[in-house]
Each structure stands twice: as structure tokens, then as C-alpha cells.
Amino acid sequence: MTVRLTGAEALALRMTSLLLRPHPVARPETVAGVVEWFGAMQAQDAASGLWSLGVRLPGRTQDDVRAALERREALRTWPMRGTVHLVPPRDARWMLAVTGVRVLAGAGTRRTQLGLTETDADRAADVLGEALAGGGRLTRAECLATLRAAGLDTTGQRGYHLLWYASQRGVTCIAPHVGTEQTFALLDEWAPDPHRPERDEALGLLAHRYVRGHGPVTRHDLARWTGLTVTDATRGIATAGDALAPVEVDGTPAVVDAALLDAPRAPVDDVHTLPGFDEYLLGYRDRSLMLDPAHANAVVPGNNGIFQATVVRGGRTAGIWKRTVGKRAVTVTVQQLTPFDAPLRARVESALARYADFLGLPLRLTW
């Protein structure tokens, strides 16, 4: 039986799936638990990735999250769409294998543009593998210096491509920052006990984790999030079986985590200050439930893929915010996309105070 949902009901369930309000069965209380719940969390900007975790782990600080990443509760790599995500270490290798095929297949065009060859890319992966063996960990600058010493050209965007390729191949992964510098390690050493599902099982895992962490969603949403074909997305949903349930959202066929069917669907009025690149907006093909199209350019200026941090009220994007982190305080400027009355301003300030506490700094707020 297909359950019919209004947009408001779907939005309430979506916020629940995204762990932004109480969930009837899921209560992840660790970095590992949150990342495993989602399966993968967008994290190309390291600071945004930390707050994406922090906002879902009330009371934890940035230092707490960093310590969890040092304990290897999650790692960063490029599993989907050639974009950096936080993933469970045991799942990194199979996710790269299943979702990275199409990205790797198209990488030749980019190499030609950069004046690199496939031989160059494979050589870079081998050089980095040798340099990092035995528990090594190198900063981005040290990796590039190692590649140059091996006779590889890293100028322009060549260095980035070679680092990306080594991780996309499953040789390296992104380890936590040392100070302000990105570091790299061997994937085999950071995830020594990889899960190795067959392809159909892997598609089912991807579908189940995506839907439970984002739903209600369509198969096209899943295809966009993973970079898979719609055919593979459809296969994954079918493989997930009874874990997912069919619904209609304002007449559009979708699926949802079956455990959510009994969750409250009443409209919500929660206020959240989410980082840029959070799964709340990035995880969908159609964002109209959460974002008024009239405000899309403010959130993603010029449609350039750079998402601003958002103020979300009742599931809808109501503003954006920008922060400057100093040694003595974090300064935040809020831009209203819809009018804020005095009570809403107070709630936004309270939410931003949580962010400041996460950083361990006083808040300086301007409107």
C-alpha cells in the first residue's frame, strides 16, 4: 500500500531522516554512528563537514569530532560524483568501486585537458602508495613534493587531479588535518578490514542508507546523489526490499525508510543553522521542498556548486550565514531571505551560540 503525503508531511519526515529532529528508532551518539546512518556525508569543505556532524551530536565540540576522526570512526575520500565525503572506513573501498566507475571512465578527458596521461596518474598512485606505506601520513604539500621528486608535473590543477586519482583508485584516503593542512594516508592502513559486498548487495546498501538518511526521496534523487544510473538506482531500491516503503509526495512516487511510516508528520518549527555543503540541501535532485527557487541564487550564487551555510526554520531555508573564525571569537553575519521577527532572531542567535560553543569561542553576531 502506498502512503500519500503532503509536502509538509514529507518535509517533517525528511528532517527526521536527516537526524535534525528526534527519530523513532535511530539515536546515533557517535561520529561513527552518524556517518554510518547516512552512509556518506558531503565533506569537501573540512570545517563544514565537522559542523555537519556537530549539529547532529548536541553537546559535542569540534575537538571531540576531530578526536573521533583521529580514532578512524570515519574517513574522507571521493566515493561519489568525484566529490569528497565522510564515509565509514569499512565501506570506503566498495563504495569507491561501485560509484567511482563512471567517474574514472570520464577522467581521461580531464587528463587530456591537463596534459597528463593515464600512465602519469598510475605512476602517481604508485609513488604515493610507496611513500605512505608503513603508517605514513603526509600533508598535501608533502604529497605534491613527493610527486615532483618522482618527475611528475603538479603545476596548475595537475597536482589535485593526481591526488584525487590515487584516492579514487583506492590507494589513498584523506586523513584528518594536521593544524590547517590536509593529510593523506593509505586506505588499506586506515581501513584494514574492508566490507566486500557483491554488487547487487552494495546497490541495496547504498539505496537503503540514502533513503533512511534523506527520505522521502525518488529514484532520481538516489541516482543524482550516488552518480549511478537511474537503472542502478532502481535496482538498489528493489534490492533493499521491505526496508523501504512506497509513498507519494504531492502525487510524485517516492520511497521512505519503512521505520518512518509511524513517525510524527505534523509540521515542524525547528530552527537550525546548518553549514554549507550539508546533506540537508545537497542530497537531492529537487530541493524545492526546502528551498524557495527565488532564493536559490543566494544559497548557491551563480549556481557554481558552492553552497552557503543556511538558516533553516521548519524545514525551509530562511536565511544564509557567513562566519569568520578568529583566535578570540567567531564572527557571524546573517542575511535574511525571509523576514525575521524578534522571536525568530532570538532563536537563530541561540542556534548560532551552539555553533560558537562547538568551536569553543565567543560569538559575535551581526545582522
Beta bridge partners of 183: 139, 175
Query: How far are the Cα atoms of 5, 10, 27, 37 from residue 261, in angstroms, in the given order?
Result: 10, 11, 17, 18
Question: Average pLDDT of 144-161?
Answer: 97
What is the DSSP pairing of strand 330-336 with strand 363-366? parallel
DSSP state of 28: -
Q: What's the chain's average pLDDT?
A: 94
pLDDT, tens digit (0-9, with 9 covering 90-100), for 223-243:
999 999 999 999 999 999 999
Question: pLDDT value at position 25?
Answer: 86
Q: Give residue 280's pLDDT.
A: 95
Q: How many percent of the chain have pLDDT more than 70?
A: 100
Rg (CA), the chain: 21
Is the distance from CB of 190 to CB of 210 less than 8 angstroms? Answer: no
Burial class of 83 by CB neighbour count within 10 A (0 to 12, 13 to 18, 19+) = middle
184-201 mean pLDDT: 96
What confidence tens digit (pLDDT) does each residue in 45-58 have? 999 999 999 999 99
Report helix angle 118-132 to 140-149, nearest 10. 120
pLDDT in tens, 9-34: 999 999 999 999 888 888 899 999 99
C-alpha cell at 184: 593523506
User: Model confidence over 340-366: pLDDT tens digits?
Assistant: 999 999 999 999 999 999 999 999 999
pLDDT, position 278: 96
pLDDT in tens, 106-146: 899 999 999 999 999 999 999 999 999 999 999 999 999 99
Q: What percent of the chain has pLDDT over 90?
A: 86
The model's confidence at residue 215, banded by pLDDT at 50, 70 and 90, is confident
Q: What phi-psi label fits residue 194: left (phi over 0), alpha (psi between -120 and 50 degrees) or beta?
A: beta
Mean pLDDT computed over 245-251: 94
Residue 264 has pLDDT above 80, yes or no: no
The predicted structure's pLDDT at residue 261: 87
Arithmetic mean of pLDDT, 190-204: 96
Residue range 311-336: average pLDDT? 96
Report the pLDDT averaged over residues 36-45: 95
pLDDT digits (tens, 9 = 90+) for 79-116: 988 899 999 999 999 999 999 888 888 899 999 999 99
Q: Span 279-298, mean pLDDT?
A: 92
Answer for the pair 7, 16: CB distance below 8 angstroms, yes or no. no
The pLDDT assigned to 1 comes to 78
pLDDT at 322: 97
